[in-house]
Chains A and B, each alone.
Chain A
Amino acid sequence: MAITTYEQWKDAKRHPPLIYHKPSAFTTLAGVPYTMIARAGDPAAGTVSAGNTGGIVPTDATAGFPTIHPFGAGNTGYLESITFSSSVACQLVLYDLIFRAGGYNLTTLTTFNLGSPPSYLSRLPNGSYKGLEVFGAISNNVSAENVSVPISYTDENAVSGNSAVIAGGGSVANFTSTRMFPYQLNANFDGKGISELDSVTIAGTAATTGQVNIYIMRRLWQGSIEIPGEVYHDSFDVSAMPIIYDTSALFPVVIPNGTSTGVPHITMQIAEG
């Protein structure tokens, strides 16, 4: 089923609001995305490392992600509205983290072939791979060597052999743990989607220390905190009620204006029907 009328929306089953609150800020670079998954709070801490170099599909049951109550049989779930704030000016972006692989040690130049990674197709509305985003996530501080992490992937048209590099083509030298960085999909293959991560290569100069993970994410919502401490609210007409699943791994990313993540607080209202 699905929510298809005003009456159904009004009468939809609503879950107790999901809370995302990380009370312990940490130091960042301005304008750079970070994950706070490893911080204590609500939900409790998880890990930046995927803990599986062959890749896994994280769910709400995985440590660090808020628990979503199971939907009724045949029901469709939606992210209905979001209330959000932070102690610092920042951007908040909410994803469904549909796949992650790692951590890959950066201390040896090698290629990790994933073989047959698990499919995340069941977490994609309409089965569409288009518009998915690929990020790296640092799980151990990287030393100063000029090490890079190109990946290869299969695109939304099942064409394998695509390559992607860190946006801007740079290395991850001196990247600190919890820092994230976007990948640039291959424009020659239209760069519009990714259906599978095929391999991860540690290239350049081997690092003395460092570990990286690759995340594939579906963007659900974004908002800006222009005034620290201000509380903002996006109702169902603004969120447009993106479909989520009762297994979705809801994953906020913080992009602070300054040098602290601040203390974000996000309340997510989920409806099903």
Chain B
Amino acid sequence: MAIGNLSGLIGAVHQPPMTLNKVASITTVAAQPFSVFDQIGTPGSGSLVVGNTTTGLVPTDADAGFPSIDTFGGGNTGYIQSILAGNTVACRLELFDLLYWVGSIPLNALATTTLSSQPSYDARLPGGSYNGLQIRLMIAAAVSATATTVTVNYRNELDVDQNTNAINVNGFTQRRMATFGLAAGAKGVKRINSITIGGTVATTGSVAIYVMRQLWQCRISAINGGQNDGPATTAMPIIYDTSALFPVVTPDSTASGLPSFLINIPNG
């Protein structure tokens, strides 16, 4: 089924509003995206270390650090109806479904980590479409001041294997994220094949690779500012009762602040 009209929305099964907030701030780099996944709050903290470098994993709401989503009714479709978001600093807030992650890949050796038997995240894609998915890196351990690069080989939406651009992670601090550019013409990501560490070998540092589906974003324009978006703004993106909801903070300055989300999830 699906929510097809206003009555369907009003009559949908509504999970109690979901809290996703962080109560500890981290030091950041201005205008760069950061994960706050390992910070305390509601839910409790998760780990920056995926703990799998052979196949990668499909995280779910049951994993530590992700908010729990109530099981949807049989045959029902779930949505984000509204998001009430704020932060103690000016920033951009993004919300993703984190579909796949692998790591941590050490940066103190120039090598290619080739994955096998990767789990599929097809079940977490509305319409089964790989289009629009992003590949991002997340620094699990701070990188030395070395011109170390990370490149990902992936399978695109047409089953063609391609390389991303190389991201130079010289001096990247822990939790910093960066988005890979897909190859010319590519529109989506079906699978991560391998991760190559190149350039100058680092003395310290490790990285995780994420595949993410963007659900929503907003601008927090002032300290303690917020934005409350209803269905006309969120456009009610489809989510799943296993979705791993994952915020990313891009602060204007050098602190993540204390981002806070109240997310309303109907299913019907």
Q: Which residues of A contact B (CB under 8 A)?
A: 2-9, 31, 89-91, 93, 124-126, 128, 130-133, 167-168, 182, 184-187, 190-193, 218-224, 226, 234-235, 237-243, 255-257
Contact = CB atoms under 8 A, between A and B. Distances in A.
Name the 10 nearest CB pairs between A and B, nearest first. A191-B44, A224-B226, A240-B264, A4-B11, A238-B230, A187-B44, A5-B7, A184-B40, A237-B230, A167-B23
B16 A128 contact: yes
Contacts of A91: 86, 224, 226, 260
A5 B3 CA distance: 12
Contact of B23 (A125, A182, A223, A240): A182
B43 A128 contact: no
A217 B266 CA distance: 22
A8 B19 CA distance: 28
Nearest to B43: A192
Given A91-B226, A237-B81, A167 B10 contact: no
Nearest to B15: A126
Interface in B217-264: 221-232, 258, 260, 262, 264
How large, as a class, is the contact surface on chain B?
Answer: 35 or more
Given A182-B23, A238-B228, A240-B17, A168 B84 contact: no
19 contacts: A6-B5, A7-B7, A91-B224, A130-B68, A131-B19, A168-B23, A168-B24, A184-B44, A187-B44, A191-B42, A191-B64, A192-B68, A218-B16, A223-B84, A224-B86, A224-B226, A237-B232, A240-B81, A241-B14
Nearest to A225: B224
Contact of B44 (A9, A186, A256): A186
Contacts of A242: 14, 16-17, 264
A192 B39 CA distance: 14
A237 B81 CA distance: 8
A24 B86 CA distance: 25
Contacts of B43: 131, 185, 190-192
A89 B24 CA distance: 21
Interface centre among B6, B40, B231 (most CB of A within 10 A): B40
Given A126-B70, A130-B68, A238-B230, A224 B224 contact: yes
A240 B10 contact: no
A90 to B, nearest CB: 6
Contacts of B227: 224
A222 B224 CA distance: 12
A168 B41 CA distance: 10
A89 B222 contact: yes
Contact of B266 (A182, A191, A222, A240): A240
A8 B10 contact: yes
B16 A243 contact: yes
B214 interface: no
A125 B16 contact: yes
B254 to A, nearest CB: 16
Contacts of B231: 237
Interface in B8-66: 9-11, 14-19, 23-24, 40-46, 64-65
A6 B64 contact: no
Nearest to A7: B7
B170 interface: no
B169 to A, nearest CB: 27
B88 A185 contact: no
B224 A257 contact: yes
B47 to A, nearest CB: 9
